[in-house]
Structure formats: structure tokens, C-alpha cells
Copies of this chain bind each other. A is one copy, B any other.
Amino acid sequence: MYPNWIIQRAYLTPLRKALTYKEQSWTFLELNDLSSKRARQLVGLGIKRGDRIAIMGPSKPELVITMYACLHLQCEMVMLNRRLSQDELGYQLADSEAVAVLIADEDVNKLPANTAHYLFSTIEEVEEGAFDIGKEWPLDQTTTIMYTSGTTGFPKGVRQTVGNHQASATASVLNIGLQADDVWLCAVPLFHISGFSILVRSLLYGNQVYLYDHFDVEAITHHIMNGEVTHMSVVAVTLERILHTLEQHKAKASSRFKLMLAGGGPVPADYLSRAHTLNLAVAQTYGMTETSSQTATLASEDAIRKIGSAGKPLFFNQIKIVEPNAQGEGEICIRGPHVTPGYIGRFAQKSATRDGWLHTGDIGYLDEDGYLFVIDRRADLIISGGENIYPAEIENVLLMHPAVKEAGVCGADDKQWGQVPVAFVVLNEQVSVEQLQAFCQQRLAKYKLPKEIIITNSLPRNGADKLLRRKLLQ
């Protein structure tokens, strides 16, 4: 049995700042008091220990308090993604059989019609029920359930346990270190593992979270320049916006700022060298919902030397490549205490692991020093005339062109070749498709050249700003 994180942290460092949002801050003691009260209010609504509860709301303190209340109740929280359609939410609510939906007032219209729910504003007014908050949690207790799109098109509800989250947070600290006054800026959604893992680390480490409900690039960049925050989680596209803003201000990151943890896919080499110039340490990481965040992370001192790598596994984790080809490329498999025990609902019977190993469906290799290189999602792999084409490779070339701000590549059906790559680009400045084609021709094998390059205003991304290649053609 392990201590209830919120109670333990409030006991150990009650007066340390836990959360800052806009101009207001809360200590760990205050968050414990508020979330304990909220827990008893949920009991007042009839919610019981261990119930499965769906939650949706923007990244604001009331969401944090509601999540912590559910932790106190040892509920299984189904983390609803605010960017989903009503149909998609309907699927998750039905699949998870959540007994209640807790929702921020401003998000209520996102729910499918006639979905029973409790508004945050309503819950705040409910009379507290009697409840003895558990001071200890078992390691295998499911804490969060996050849906991840399966290759089948049916999203799978992934269990993340107390043990998964703890293992993830402790392994991370053995890699990147820890000081009591570290401050993690959170501008990634709390319903994603990238955001929720920041809350878990805050509770285990006793660190402050600086919370944003949207990506305010000016304000965030100023925190980084001033050293008011020390860590931040980004994806390539948000990193680029910060780099761009620093460059516009002709400013550098403060020496107090320690690390950008960059997940959700590879970071273009060009971004890394710009970050280096701006004194901004970037650690590329490889993680997923099934591993409660990072499995491997590249130390920032290796960012340039091992450019493109996701680094080495965190201390308690293991990585192997199965069925490698002659170049050593194969499916990435993961083992460790951070790996999910499995799924709920439709996929409850499907085992997440084989002999303890999670088969990720991602393709990669380990170089001679044991650094992981993730080549691509196997689901996104384009097979053209028998040749494997990794979309990321073409995207990286396009992103090297100064006029290209964002790029996404997917496969389109083709009579002759089976599939051919098609590229979608968002531009910074005027450029012709012909110029881009010529640029690619200099850098890519002929079979990898995009058959078409389409200029567009935005690329389809999920809640974590991760590119959704499968939606490009739509």
C-alpha cells in the first residue's frame, strides 16, 4: 500500500506552492483541503469509492481540484478529450460505462445530447456527504483511463494505475534530476498523459505547476525568459512557436530554465539547433498513453550529437526491437512498471502485453550506443512499390525549407504503386509548389517524393497538438 499522494504531500510540505493559475496560487495544504471538500460533495451526489467517473473541462484549477477529489475517492477517471466530436465522446462514455460525467460549465455543449452530467458549478454547491478518505492506495488501483486511437479505428480505453504513474515519475527524476524549487509550466491538456503526468510529478516531487488553459505563447515565452519556470512539456509545433517568439524578441531562455521535454513525435533537427542557439535545453522523449508518459528520453547534452534520437530508456524501463530487418529496424517493444496492465470496455479482454512486453506498433532501431531512434508509427507507414516510406522523413525535409511552417505527409492510394506519399504544408511565407518539389528532389530518393504538395491553412491535430496523419486526406 502506498500513501494517498495528495494527503502525503500536504503532510510533508504543506506550505509549498503547488499550483499557480493567472494571478492566483494554492499551496499543497490548500489543494488537499479543497479537493477533500470536493470529494465529499461528490459523495453527496451519490458517487462511491472506486466508481468510474468521466471528467471534462479546460485546464483550470477547478479541473485540478475535481481530479484530486476523484483521486481521494479512488475513482477511475475517464479523461475526456475536449476536442472530440459528440459521436466520439458518446463512444467513450458508452464503452467506459462511466457512472457519472463531471463537466465544466463551458464544456457542457460538447456532450452528446441527453447525456446525464454534473456541472462543476453545481457540484460546488452540493452538500458534503460523509466519507472517510483513504490514506493508502494499492499499486494496481486504476487511477486514470485515457482513450487512445487504435489502428482499428475503435479507440481503446487504457488503464493507468497508481503504480504506473509512480514508476513514471520516479524514473523521470532519476533521469532529469530534481530540486525543491523546480516549477513545471503546464500548457498541455490535463486530459492527456503529457498534462496529467505533470500533476503526478508535482505531487510526488513537491514542485509547483504553472497552469495554462491555452497556449499563450507570449506569456509562456516570458516565463522562460525570466526563469519563473524551470521545466515545460512541448510538442514540435509548440516548441517552434516558442523558438520563434524568442527570436522575435531577440531574447534567450533564462539560465534558471532547465528543460523542455519534447514529446508527441520527433522534433525537426532545425528546431533543435535553433533551441541550442537560444540557450534552451530540449530533451526529446518517446512516450505514450500506454506507458503513462516517458519511456525513453534523450539527455539535452546529447540533443545535437544524437540528433533525431529519443534517447535511452528511463532507469526502470527496458526497450527492445523485435523482428528487426537487416538494418536493425523493427517494432519497438517496451517493458517496465510504467506499462499499462490493460484496457477497459470493448478491449478489456485484449492483453496489452506479451510476456510482459508492450508491442507499440512503432518502428525504430537502437544505434550502436543503445540510443533509440523512432522512425515512424507503423500505422502511418507508406508502402509504395514495395518500398517502405516513413512520412516523418519527408516532413523533416519539407520543414527544412524556410517557407514551411508545418508539414504532414500521408499515403494516398495509387493504381501503379499501391500507395504514394502526399504532402500538406502550412506556410510562413510565399513559395510555389514547384519550388518545394525541387527542394525535395535534392534531398529525397525519387520514390519518396510527394506525388502532390498541397498548401493548406492548418493540419489536423489531436488535443496534444500531435499530428493526425490519417486525417490529412479528409
Contact = CB atoms under 8 A, between A and B. Distances in A.
Contacts of A2: 316, 337
A196 to B, nearest CB: 18
A177 B315 CA distance: 16
A58 interface: no
Contacts of A3: 315-318
Contact of A205 (B174, B205, B312): B174
A320 to B, nearest CB: 10
A266 interface: no
Given A1-B335, A1-B356, A12 B177 contact: no
A347 to B, nearest CB: 25
A178 interface: yes
Given A316-B2, A335-B1, A177 B180 contact: yes
A312 B170 CA distance: 19
A329 B205 CA distance: 30
Interface size class of A (residues with CB under 8 A): 20 to 34
Contacts of A335: 1
A8 B206 contact: no
A12 B170 contact: no
A206 B315 CA distance: 10
Contacts of A174: 170, 173, 178, 204-206
A295 to B, nearest CB: 13
A11 B312 contact: yes
Contact of A178 (B1, B178, B204, B206): B178
A179 interface: yes
A314 to B, nearest CB: 9
Interface string A301-339: 000000000001101111000000000000000010100
Interface string A172-212: 01100111100000000000000000000000111000000
A8 B9 CA distance: 30
A385 interface: no
Interface in A268-296: none
A1 B204 CA distance: 23
Residue picked from A9, A178, A315, A370, most chain B C-beta under 10 Å? A315
A258 to B, nearest CB: 10
Contacts of A135: 318
Contacts of A315: 3, 8-9, 12, 204
A74 B174 CA distance: 23
A371 to B, nearest CB: 10
Interface in A1-46: 1-3, 8-9, 11-12
Interface in A142-174: 166, 170, 173-174
A335 to B, nearest CB: 7
Given A170-B170, A315-B204, A370 B11 contact: yes
Contacts of A9: 315
A22 to B, nearest CB: 28
Interface string A423-460: 00000000000000000000000000000000000000
A390 to B, nearest CB: 26
Nearest to A12: B312
Contacts of A170: 170, 173-174
Contacts of A370: 11
Contacts of A8: 315
Contacts of A173: 170, 173-174, 178
A143 to B, nearest CB: 16
A313 to B, nearest CB: 8
27 contacts: A1-B335, A1-B356, A2-B316, A2-B337, A3-B315, A3-B316, A3-B317, A3-B318, A8-B315, A11-B312, A11-B370, A12-B315, A166-B316, A170-B170, A170-B173, A170-B174, A173-B173, A173-B174, A173-B178, A174-B178, A174-B204, A174-B205, A177-B177, A177-B178, A177-B179, A177-B180, A179-B179
Interface pairs A-B: 7 shortest CB-CB = A170-B170, A177-B178, A177-B179, A178-B178, A12-B312, A11-B370, A2-B316
Interface of A: 1-3, 8-9, 11-12, 135-136, 166, 170, 173-174, 177-180, 204-206, 312-313, 315-318, 335, 337, 356, 370
Given A1-B335, A170-B170, 12 more contacts: A1-B356, A3-B316, A3-B318, A11-B370, A12-B312, A12-B315, A135-B318, A136-B318, A166-B316, A173-B173, A174-B206, A177-B180
